[in-house]
Structure 1
Amino acid sequence: MDSSELESRLRTLQKALLPLIQLVNRISRLETAFVSYIDPVAGRQQVVAVSGDGEINIVAGDELDWHDSMCRLIFNDEGWIQSRVAKRYPDSIGAKSGMNTFFALPVQYNNRLIGSLCGTSVNETELNTEQYEQIQLIAEAVSWQVSQWQRLIKLQRRLQTSRRHLKQAFQDKESLRMLSEQDPLTGLLNRRGFADLWQSCIEQESTDSDISVMALDFDNFKQLNDNFGHQAGDDALKALANILTLNIRDYDFAARLGGDEFMLVLPTCKRLDALQISERIQQQYLATLHGQSHTISIGVAVSEQGASDNLLLLADKALYQAKNSGRGVIIVNTFRR
């Protein structure tokens, strides 16, 4: 599937979604409503279709890092609407773009989060239970259409991976693969390498095996760079990467997804074992030179039913809860289909 065909499919999806989104405008009375596609593996969120002419500039095709997403903030707070965005999330993209009201309902397919149905306004607006229930029905109607888009995205990713592997077959395949999938600073996998291995976990299709995922993040990393310089920040990143490497088995894998975000995947690892490993990682980091001045927070998600993209979101949510609970906290959540 080439890019022109994918764009054609996107236009078809947008035409199908537009009447539903316009209905959300009428029910909510908010100026802007939109549907997004969420890819937890790539850590990206893409706006698929938009309705409304509000002051907040949201355009179909826009992409943003999931870490900065308003949907992530709402979902991790286990809510669905916030009518005082600037006060609740003062440093968010939403606050900076002028949002005062923002709601997000999950779009799910086969119990997997694949997108969101959202509305926003520059005004402070409360929605009642009846409006919520009506919009929830629309989110359910949107789910099948977005799931087809997800299927196309994954198909394109697999095709791109296959083409990449074919190209590398005529070159020094192993060295090129390592260079393209490795973070140059820490030597861990980068996001691309992580996505390939995670896809392998998904494709095993085992629903009765244990797997644990850890999301790790430095507390006040910007302050570390500001006070001691970027070299100190790089040294701290490498120190944590070294600790992760020392604590993984041959079939585990660790990645630096970007900035100070790390992910650790532990197949066949149960909840208690995952907690012990996370505590050991945290204590070993605290024992380093860098750990004397700041801490790391860890979010853990465990499943007894095999890998799922939702497991990554659950680990991210646990990390969000850990960082909001205080420095150096570990939160463990259990994934259930």
Structure 2
Amino acid sequence: MNSLDAIEQDTFISAATPLLNLITHITGLKTSFITTIDWQAQQQTVVIAQNTGDLHIASGSQLAWTDSMCQLMLSEQLTATTEIQLRFPDSGGAQLGMQSFVVLPIKIADQMIGTLCGASDDKVELNNHQIESLGYIADALALQLKLTIDARNAEAKMDSLRDQIENLATLANTDPLTELLNRRAFQQRYEFAIKLSKRTKQPLSVMMIDIDDFKQFNDEFGHETGDAIIKMVGDGLKYIARSTDIPCRVGGDEFILVALNTDSNGLMLLAKRLNDYVKLHSKQLQRPCSLSIGIACSSHGAPEELIRFADEALYMSKASGRDAISVYQADDA
């Protein structure tokens, strides 16, 4: 068993402290303590210790299992002894001045996960009734440790479930190729942006983007190159987008960006940056590509109509020969 983390250890200590006091009351041993054992690391850790005399065991102390008094006692099939100095003269317990020692395993499902121990620097003889009582305390501690471990495992499962739910939510709202918002998630954000624009009376602008001659790229160089172009444009949108902007892959080779508190001039600057980004990064492909972009601002009409306006401006860019940025003109509606 690995050591308990800080929160779990505090919980366990709160439950275990009265039981250690009970050990002192039942046996007269001056020191009582509880350990956990990490079998993989072969290390024993004192989770909590109670010291009422000169003999001192420190809570949190660690030692190799092979050097442990518990290991020495259990290997000799001893539960209690008053002859530490005679039986184990070279042990750490003897060096601390121990005369008496008692150890009972703490088990969960027949696996020893720790020990319940008592020690004293004088000879304290324990009768069978006292040792049996200590066994009941060890069982109670095993139950408490199991509850603590079960609570930790339950929390870990809840964390895992929350992560899965978050991942599913991300998958449901994200385009897998570009990691931009998909159309459904975009629509929710866009509706909120419209309400916010109306409430704050701030401009709202929309940019529609289409990759020029995308079908020709796909037919000539294959879908792998086509996917690379789409991802590159998506990366470009993420590069130029500000924290309040809403970039999205609408589908196929079409993209959209909504900008709060931005007029058509501000969005024009972002569009030029995006176009420059794509031209620069597409040089590494078999043939550079370009974008046709349409822009519309809420000053042109109702915010709910901006996507349609921007789409009309995009058509203007394509009609002018592609690789162009056009701003919707209300007179043309």
Q: TM-score range by the shorter chain?
A: 0.3 to 0.5
TM-score (norm 1): 0.46
Instruction: Give the TM-score, by structure 2 length.
Output: 0.47
Q: Which has the larger radius of gyration?
A: 2
